[in-house]
Amino acid sequence: MLEVGFNGLEVDKVSAMISGLRRDEHNIDAIMHRLRRTMFTQEKELDPISVMFWYKLIHRLGSISDQAENIADRLLLFLSK
């Protein structure tokens, strides 16, 4: 840790932020599941283009959330070396 300039307090802060990010990512997954379920029940009331747009948007937001978690995991590996 000393080589990269992080001390114990900074590592603890980053670890806490990563834990929070993981919790948030899990919450986002649950929200996405509810959104998809809601979209499925209302598909027939919306035009097909809007439905496709919303599913794609939900998927992309989930991908962003997943990528943030992956980056946090890599940062944690970096800090542990």
Span 8-37, average pLDDT: 92
AA identity, residue 35: L
Q: Which two tokens stand for residue 18?
A: 């990563």
Q: Which domain holds residue 78?
A: 47-81
30 within a domain of the structure (yes/no): no
35 within a domain of the structure (yes/no): no
Span 39-68, average pLDDT: 95
80 within a domain of the structure (yes/no): yes
Q: Provide the domain count of the chain.
A: 1
Cα–Cα distance for residue pair 27/34, rounded to 1 Å: 11
SS3 7: coil
pTM score, two decimals?
Answer: 0.77
Q: How high does pLDDT run on average in the chain?
A: 89
CA-closest candidate to residue 38, choices 54, 62, 59? 54
56 within a domain of the structure (yes/no): yes
Q: What is the DSSP string of 17-53?
A: HHHHHHHHHHHHHHHHHHHHHHHHHHGGGS-HHHHHH
3 within a domain of the structure (yes/no): no
74 within a domain of the structure (yes/no): yes
- Tens of pLDDT, residue by residue over 65-79, are 999 999 999 988 888
79 within a domain of the structure (yes/no): yes
